[in-house]
Structure 1
Amino acid sequence: MQEFINNFNLEDYLPAVIAGMTNVLFAAAILIVGIYIASKVNRGICKMGESHEKLDDTLFRFLGSLGKYIVLAFVVIAVLNRFGVQTASIVALLGAAGLAVGLALQGTLSNLAAGVMLLVFRPYKVGDFIDAAGRFGNVTEIDLFTTVLQTFDNQQIIIPNSQIWGAQIINHSHHKIRGVDMLFGVAYKEDSAKVKKIINDVMAAHPNILKDPAPFVEVESLNDSSVDFRVRPFCHGEHYFDILYSVPEQIKQALDQAGVEIPFPHRKLIIEKEE
């Protein structure tokens, strides 16, 4: 030990010490600047979503976090490279790990991709009534992986976004004015003009049926035992289900009061007696 102290020469180690301190200072500077840039990238992307009402905040918060961690990943690689660490093997290892994770989470990633597409193209929004993936209900929540619906009987349905994006989506709330399609059949003996007047009178008295556009009432088809009328009143979207479930009963009562026969399937049986 005494021999080491006697032979120690600071000038021999000074370049290495200076180089090491320089690397530490440069690494600290890279780290500080990188964290600052990552935070700015995150805030900038989030502000893009906040500045446009039609853009979804959830998507931009996700993209902001993604951009932040991508910048931080490059910062860590730059810091390690500053200390002489061979980063090529680390990048290859991270790539292989990412591939393995991606293969293990194929379903989750497909939901994520579908969620991004739904948030970008916005075929529906929270509060809309939609028919998607064989389910119907009011959209209460949309995130990157699932869409949550509330049914009329207060059930909560959570649907993976990949099932929605890959199938037909019917948005019942997209247009403010909706047509309500209904079909009514009457007997062949009835006067078509009289039936149309009865139906029009019922719709004219309904407070939620619009006068413009005017209700549509016409004969659609001639069936085996009935003349079928296509009836399509128009209303604001929030009254759609009220009309769908109240008008048929009102028309039925009006037809009954007017003595109009509403036919039903029946068979005529003829029995012949043997002599």
Structure 2
Amino acid sequence: MENLETQVVTGTDYIGKYTSQFITILVDYSPRLISAFLILFIGLYAIRLLNRMIRRLMVARNLDPTLSKFLADIVLWVLRVLLFVSVIDKLGIGTSSFVAILGAAGLAVGLSLQGSLSNFAGGMLIILFKPFRVGDFIEAQGVSGTVAEIQIFVTRLSSTNNQTIFVPNGALSNGNIINYSVAGTRRADINFTVSYDSNLQEVKNILNTIIQNDPRVLKEPAPAVIVTGLVDNGVTIAVRPWAKNDDFWAMHSDVLEQTKSQLYEAGIELQPFVKEFSVSPK
């Protein structure tokens, strides 16, 4: 019984001793803890305020929206990392060892994310050299669409049938890009074939009348109707009207429709495409 009471007293002494040490450490450490929390909250508020000021300044300077967002995000994360280092330094944690660990972790992450880093570098090249902008219609990497957003790692396109396409910036910056929006105008290449019995001058007159009566076809550069080839099933003729980018597809469709209907009314038949087959003797 006496041993049990002795063990209870000894356990109580240990609890009291550790409780007293914990309270002492907490009291001694509380100024650093409070200071670190104050730095954290004030720093986050200051970073948010500074980020808003930077964004407004970029808008006032008429910088490209994509470039403004990209630079603002970079500044935001750099300031957050600096704030985090300041907080752990205030808590008494050695920043030198932390920076070394962070560098080693960054190297490991960089080696494992080489593709993502390539996309990041590609995004920076696209933003800096601007081969296209938001709103441009482009064709690249086997897809085409209107540029909806240029992100750090990918570019988001909206196709003509309202599908969203994400193209990695690494492949996009290293490949061929066709930008249909830079010049503001675009030429349609409409090719078809008529029979050898057709009156070519009559055909050309009909086609010239069609494109001259379409108000969306530009006078400059001048449209053209030319013979481009003599093939097995007839004479190939090309109609090359110019239009503004916004009017291009509507003009293209109407010229095709008018060509078919007016040539049919004039008794001129369009020749079908003939594919040649080579059959080896048995």
Both proteins in one fold, TM over 0.5? yes
Q: Deviations over 1:29-81 (max 9, x none)?
A: x999998997797567535532343523x433333343354456557667877
Structure 2: 5+ residue runs without aligned partners?
Answer: 1-31, 276-282
Equivalent position of 1:252 in the other structure: 260
Maintained 8 Å contact 1:180/1:244:
yes
Structure 2 distance, partners of 1:156, 1:79, is 42
Equivalent position of 1:157 in the other structure: 165
Which of structure 1's runs of 4+ aligned residues deviate more than 6 A?
30-41, 78-85
Among 95, 98, 108, the residue aligned to 2:106: 98
Amino acid of the residue matched to residue 162 of structure 2? N
Q: Deviations over 1:109-162 (max 9, x none)?
A: 322222222222232233322222211222223322222222232222233322
Return closer, same or farther for 1:265/1:241 CA change in 2, 3 Å cut-off: closer
Equivalent position of 1:188 in the other structure: 196
Structure 1 distance, partners of 2:94, 2:53, is 33
Among 176, 181, 192, the residue aligned to 1:173: 181
Among 46, 50, 58, the residue aligned to 2:59: 50
After TM superposition, the score normalised by the length of structure 2 is 0.70
Amino acid of the residue matched to residue 128 of structure 1? D
Give the secondary-structure state (helix, strand or coil) at the position aligned to 1:245.
helix
Mapped pair 1:230 → 2:254: no
Mapped pair 1:111 → 2:139: no
Equivalent position of 1:7 in the other structure: none
Give the secondary-structure state (helix, strand or coil) at the position aligned to 2:206.
helix
Maintained 8 Å contact 1:38/1:69:
no
Give the secondary-structure state (helix, strand or coil) at the position aligned to 2:218.
coil
Mapped pair 1:220 → 2:256: no
Return closer, same or farther for 1:204/1:79 CA change in 2, 3 Å cut-off: closer
Structure 2 distance, partners of 1:227, 1:63, is 57
Structure 1 distance, partners of 2:146, 2:197, is 44
Structure 1 distance, partners of 2:51, 2:146, is 32
- Larger mean CA deviation between 89-98 and 62-71 belongs to 62-71
Matched residue count: 247
Return closer, same or farther for 1:265/1:239 CA change in 2, 3 Å cut-off: closer
Structure 1 distance, partners of 2:42, 2:257, is 71
Mapped pair 1:211 → 2:219: yes
Amino acid of the residue matched to residue 55 of structure 1? D
- Larger mean CA deviation between 233-242 and 165-174 belongs to 165-174
Maintained 8 Å contact 1:41/1:64:
no
Give the secondary-structure state (helix, strand or coil) at the position aligned to 2:196.
coil
Q: Deviations over 1:245-272 (max 9, x none)?
A: 22122112222222224333569xxxxx
Give the secondary-structure state (helix, strand or coil) at the position aligned to 1:131.
strand
Equivalent position of 2:209 in the other structure: 201
What's the offset of the Cα at 1:205? 1.8
Structure 1 distance, partners of 2:59, 2:75, is 17
Structure 1 distance, partners of 2:129, 2:274, is 51
Structure 2 distance, partners of 1:215, 1:55, is 35
- TM-align CA RMSD: 3.6
- Larger mean CA deviation between 58-67 and 35-44 belongs to 35-44
Return closer, same or farther for 1:37/1:216 CA change in 2, 3 Å cut-off: same
Structure 1 distance, partners of 2:146, 2:81, is 40
Amino acid of the residue matched to residue 192 of structure 1? L
Identity %: 38
Structure 2 distance, partners of 1:238, 1:254, is 26
Equivalent position of 1:5 in the other structure: none
Structure 1 distance, partners of 2:168, 2:177, is 14
Maintained 8 Å contact 1:186/1:226:
yes
Equivalent position of 2:14 in the other structure: none
Structure 1 distance, partners of 2:128, 2:77, is 21
